[in-house]
């Protein structure tokens, strides 16, 4: 298995800079606030972004089913409820479709594309050993929606994408390691990813 490839061939791993794009609640009252993203990969004109915090908590799919990313309820929610609520029409025009049907070793399972998605193991593999950004803290809003949070570290589990059909769905554990969880688990958090076109005047937050 060829883990650790770039999500698009010409990209270079980044994993440092952060900036604001779109809005989603952070606090339990549901008031939208700017979303902080971490740049995982960059090219001259594109950025591959991963939410700095887990933004919500939702099951990957139904109970007692072998579900892939393509058929998951999580994919449906990200592509509709999250996408339309988190980004303005102008922001959505900047988001680039990402081929999410590609899995282990660049194997193509499906030709599907998504604007908002969760990363695959390959896409985050270069960062798993670093502790950051694989360790993830949920927002208070995510916790109010059921996200698990450790008492000491304040970290959570968060879903990964897989095209395999099996009784468990992949995720990153509360200590930043690859793990598996039942797809119906409602306490695993959602850490969305997107690709966007670079424009001037980014709201950079620094390294």
The residue assigned the tokens 């139904």 is 62
Q: Does residue 1 fall inside a structural domain? A: no
Sorting pLDDT into bands at 50, 70 and 90, what band is 138?
Answer: very high
Q: Does residue 76 fall inside a structural domain? A: yes
Distant-in-sequence, close-in-space partners of 189: CB < 8 Å, separation ≥ 6: 54, 55, 56, 57, 136, 138, 142, 147, 148, 156, 157, 158, 159
Q: Does residue 39 fall inside a structural domain? A: yes
Q: Does residue 178 fall inside a structural domain? A: yes
Domain region containing 91: 12-206
| pLDDT, tens digit (0-9, with 9 covering 90-100), for 106-115 | 555 678 999 9
| pLDDT, tens digit (0-9, with 9 covering 90-100), for 146-162 | 999 999 999 999 999 98
Number of domains in the chain: 1
Q: Does residue 198 fall inside a structural domain? A: yes
- Per-residue model confidence (pLDDT) at position 46: 92
Q: Does residue 4 fall inside a structural domain? A: no
Prediction pTM value: 0.87
| pLDDT, tens digit (0-9, with 9 covering 90-100), for 61-97 | 988 677 889 889 999 999 999 999 999 999 999 999 9
Q: Does residue 3 fall inside a structural domain? A: no
Q: Does residue 118 fall inside a structural domain? A: yes
């Amino acid at each position: 298995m060829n883990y650790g490839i770039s999500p698009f061939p010409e990209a270079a791993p980044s994993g440092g800079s952060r900036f604001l794009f779109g809005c989603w609640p952070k606090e339990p009252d549901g008031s939208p606030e700017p979303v902080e993203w971490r740049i995982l990969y960059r090219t001259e004109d594109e950025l591959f972004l991963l939410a700095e915090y887990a933004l919500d908590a939702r099951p990957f799919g139904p109970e007692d089913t072998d579900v892939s990313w393509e058929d998951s309820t999580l994919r449906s929610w990200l592509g509709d409820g999250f996408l339309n609520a988190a980004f303005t029409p102008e922001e959505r025009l900047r988001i680039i479709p990402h081929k999410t049907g590609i899995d282990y070793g660049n194997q193509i399972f499906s030709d599907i594309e998504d604007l908002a998605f969760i990363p695959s193991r390959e896409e985050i593999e270069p960062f798993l050993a670093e502790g950051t950004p694989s360790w993830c803290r949920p927002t208070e809003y995510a916790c109010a929606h059921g996200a698990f949070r450790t008492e000491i570290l304040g970290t959570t589990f968060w879903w990964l994408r897989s095209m395999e059909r099996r009784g468990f769905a992949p995720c990153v554990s509360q200590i930043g390691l690859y793990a598996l969880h039942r797809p119906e688990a409602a306490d695993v958090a959602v850490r969305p990813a997107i690709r966007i076109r670079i424009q001037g005047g980014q709201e950079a937050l620094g390294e």
